[in-house]
Amino acid sequence: MSDPISDPDAPVPELRFLKWLVTALAVTMIAGLLTIVTLLVIRFNQPSGNKLTLPEAISLPDGLQALSLTQQADRIIIVTTDNQVLLFSPDGRLTARTKLAP
């Protein structure tokens, strides 16, 4: 019978198990990465049902500059640099105007 300490070619059971664990981890990580990439490709290829479209042109009142724009299904909201909120209909017509308090 050979002594594992004196025989340098004898495989150590703990190292064999560790090698198996590293291999299993690598396979699991590769499978997970492939799953994530597949799900992203499937998700981005699906058509979106709620596409919002902007009108051809939106005319701001004279002297106003847009600071931010928010679009919803039934309105377009523009905040200007002088703290005004402008509400536009989906066809680009101004429907309401409000001044924000400083």
- 28 and 71 inside one domain: no
- 62 and 42 inside one domain: no
Phi, psi of 68 (to 5 degrees): -150, 160
**What is the per-residue pLDDT across 52-78, written as a single tens digit (0 to 9) for each?**
777 888 888 888 899 999 988 889 999
Give the torsion through C-alpha atoms of 44, 47, 52, 57, to 10 deg.
Answer: 90
CA distance 27 to 39: 18
> For the domain that residue 91 is a member of, what is the CATH number?
2.40.10.360
Determine what percent of the chain is predicted with pLDDT higher than 90.
43
- 11 and 40 inside one domain: yes
- 59 and 96 inside one domain: yes
Q: What is the pTM of this model?
A: 0.52
Give the start-end residues of each E strand in the chain.
Answer: 66-71, 76-80, 84-88, 94-99
Give the torsion through C-alpha atoms of 65, 85, 98, 51, to 10 deg.
Answer: 130
Confidence check: pLDDT of 40 > 70:
yes
- 60 and 28 inside one domain: no
Q: Could you give the number of structural domains in the chain?
A: 2
The tokens describing 88, both together, are 């536009």
> The domain containing residue 14 runs over which residues?
1-46
